[in-house]
Amino acid sequence: MEKIVIEGGHSLKGMVTISGAKNAALPIIASCLLTGGWHRLSHVPRLKDIQTIKLIMSNLGVTFREEEGEVFVNSENVHEYEAPYNLVKTMRASILLLGPLLARLGKAKISLPGGCAIGARPINLHLMALAAMGVEMRLEQGYIHAQVDRLKGANIFFDITTVTGTENIMMAAVTADGQTVLQNAAKEPEVQDLADMLRSMGAQITGDGTDTIVIDGVKDLRPTPQHHVIPDRIEAGTFMIAAAMTNGEITINGCRPEHLAAVIERLQSVGAELEKVGDGLRVRGPGTIKSVDVKTMPFPGFPTDLQAQFMAMMCIASGSSVIKETIFENRFIHVSELKRMGADIKINGPHALVRGKARLSAAPVMATDLRASASLILAGLVAKEGNTEVNRIYHLDRGYEDLEKKFRSLGAGIWREKV
C-alpha cells in the first residue's frame, strides 16, 4: 500500500501536458470488440481502469499490443462472453462491454455492477434500451445473462441522461437491423469521441453532441486505422483549479477549452485569469479566491467529476458558497475528510454550504473515490502546519496518470511513500 504525502504552501508554476481521457478511452477500447482486425489507438492513458478493461477483454480472447505509445487491439478471436464479478466489482465501467458483446456474439454474461461510494448507480436504462432492441435478459446469481438473435433498431428515450448508457446503446446499435434513435442522449465529449471512433470503423452515426443521436445499422465494420483519444477534461480542470488555489501560473497543454467552458467560466468568476495559448490554456491564480456557487449538471454544465476539486478551492475562498450536486446522491464523501483539514462545510441534502477560511491545516486523510482523492490532494497543496497524507491512493491511480509527478514538475512538494 502507498500513500501520497504533500508539503503544502508552494505556488505552482510551469507547464503540464494532459493525458488521454479515461472515460473516452474505456468505451473506445470496448468498441474494439465490435469487429476483428487490428485497431490502432493513440493517447490511451496508462491507468488502472484501462488495465482492468484490457484484462477483462483479454479473458474474452482479445489481444493487445503496445508499440511506441500506441495501443493495438485485435478481437478476431473473441470466444468468451463473460465479465466476471471479481473484475467488474473493481470497475463499474465494465458494463460498457454489454452492448458490443451483444452486437458481436449475440450473448453476454456480465456481473451486475453494485453501488459504489458515490451512489447506487443503477443500470436500468441500459437494460431498458437493450430490451427495446430485442435483447432477452435475466438476472441470475448476480449476473445479467443477455441474449439476442439479431439486434434491431429502436426509438429509445432516456428519462435520465446517462453517459455510459448512451455509449452502450450506440455500440449495440451500429450493426443492428435498421435505425436506432436515442433521445435525451448524453452530450458529453466522451460520447462524441466514441462516435468518432465508431465512424472510423464504418458506423453511420449523426447527432452526437446533441440530445438526439441517430444510428443507422451497417452490415460490416472494419478496424479503426487510427483513433486518437481526446484529452482528459477532468484532469485539465484539476490542474486549472490547482493553479487558482496555489496562486500560481500553469500552462495546460493539449486540453480542449471547448470541453471546459463551464469550468472556465467558474474559474473566471473566482478571479483567476485564463488565456488560450497554443493548444491549451494558461491559468493564473488570483491573490484572493472569491466564493462562487456551483451546480453540477450533465455536459455542457459543470461536471460532477470536478465538484470535489472545486469544493476544495471554495474551502479557502473569501466568503461562502453553495455547491449543489445533482448527478449522484452521495458525492460528498470528501466533505468529512476536508473538515479534518479545518474546512467549514455543512451538508443539507444535495447542497453543501462552504464557508471559506484563510487556511487549511495538514492532516492524514483517506480517499474513498477517485475525484475525492484529487480534492484532498488539492487541499494538501495549500495546507499549512505539517504534511498532508492521503491514504488509499489506489483510487487515484484508477483515473489520473502520473498525477504527483506532474504536480512535482510544477513545483509542488508531493511524493509517494509505502505504508
- H/E/C letters for each residue in the chain? CEEEEEECCCCCEEEEECCECHHHHHHHHHHHHHCCCEEEEECCCCCHHHHHHHHHHHHHCCEEEEECCEEEEECCCCCCCEECHHHHCCCHHHHHHHHHHHHHHCEEEEECCCCECCECCCCHHHHHHHHHCCCEEEEECCEEEEECCCCECCEEECCCCCHHHHHHHHHHHCCCECEEEEECCCCCHHHHHHHHHHHHCCCEEECECECEEEEECCCCCCCCCCEECCECHHHHHHHHHHHHHCCCEEEEECCCHHHCHHHHHHHHHHCCEEEEECCEEEEECCCCCCCCCEEECCCCCECHHHHHHHHHHHCCCCCEEEEECCCCCCCCCCHHHHHHCCCEEEEECCEEEEECCCCCECCEEECCCHHHHHHHHHHHHHCECCEEEEECCHHHHHHCCCHHHHHHHCCCEEEEEEC
**Residue number, 113 or 380, with CB nearest to ligand EPU:** 113
Task: Say whether 315 is catalytic.
Answer: no
Q: Kindly give, in sequence order, each residue whose CB lies less than 8 Å from that of residue 336, ignoring residues fewer than 6 positions away.
A: none
User: Contacts with ligand EPU in 311-370 (CB under 6 A)?
Assistant: 327-328, 370
Which C-beta is closer to ligand EPU: that of 292 or that of 372?
372
Q: How far apart are CA 317 and CA 311, in angstroms?
A: 10
Which residues 162-201 are close enough to bind ligand EPU by CB under 6 A? 162-165, 190
Q: Give the nearest distance from C-beta 303 to ligand EPU in angstroms.
A: 6
Choice between 196 and 249, CB closer to ligand EPU: 196
CB of 122 to ligand EPU, least distance (A): 4
- Interface residues for ligand EPU in 109-138 (CB under 6 A)? 119, 121-126
Please return the burial class of 337, using the count of CB atoms within 10 Å of its CB with bins 0-12, 13-18 and 19+.
buried
The interface region with ligand EPU, picked from 11-19, 156-164, 283-291, 356-364 by CB under 6 A, is 156-164
> b/e for 379-404, b at 16 or more Cβ within 10 A?
bbbbbeeebbbbbbbebbbbbbbebb
Give me the least distance between CB of 249 and ligand EPU, in Å please: 27
Nearer to ligand EPU, 341 or 372 (CB): 372
Any contact of residue 237 with ligand EPU (CB under 6 A)?
A: no
Minimum CB separation from ligand EPU for residue 23, in Å? 3
Cell numbers of 70, please?
Answer: 500506441
Least Å distance between CB 288 and ligand EPU?
30
| Number of chain residues interacting with ligand EPU (CB under 6 A) | 23
**Which residue in 371, 381, 403, 404 binds ligand EPU (CB under 6 A)?**
371
According to CB under 6 A, which residues from 13 to 42 bind ligand EPU? 23, 26
Interacting stretch for ligand EPU, rule CB under 6 A, among 157-165, 202-210, 257-265, 277-285?
157-165
Selected catalytic residue, list 32, 116, 255, 315: 116
- Within its chain, how far is the Cα of 202 from the centroid? 26
Instruction: Please say which residue, 18 or 289, places its beta carbon nearer to ligand EPU.
Output: 18
Which residue's CB is nearer to ligand EPU, number 251 or number 373? 373
- 155-163, 218-226, 334-342, 347-355 -> range binding ligand EPU (CB under 6 A): 155-163
Rule CB under 6 A: choose which of 399, 404, 410, 414 binds ligand EPU.
399
Cβ proximity to ligand EPU, 369 vs 389, nearer residue: 369
Question: Residue 298, preceding bond cis, omega within 30 degrees?
Answer: no
Q: How far is the CB of 158 from ligand EPU (least distance, A)?
A: 8
Binder of ligand EPU out of 47, 93, 272, 352 (CB under 6 A): 93
Nearest distance in Å: CB 93, ligand EPU: 4
Least distance CB 125 / ligand EPU (angstroms): 3
Q: Which is nearer to ligand EPU, 230 or 289 (CB)?
A: 230
Active-site positions? 116
- List residues binding ligand EPU (CB under 6 A): 23, 26, 93, 119, 121-126, 160, 162-165, 190, 304-305, 327-328, 370-371, 399
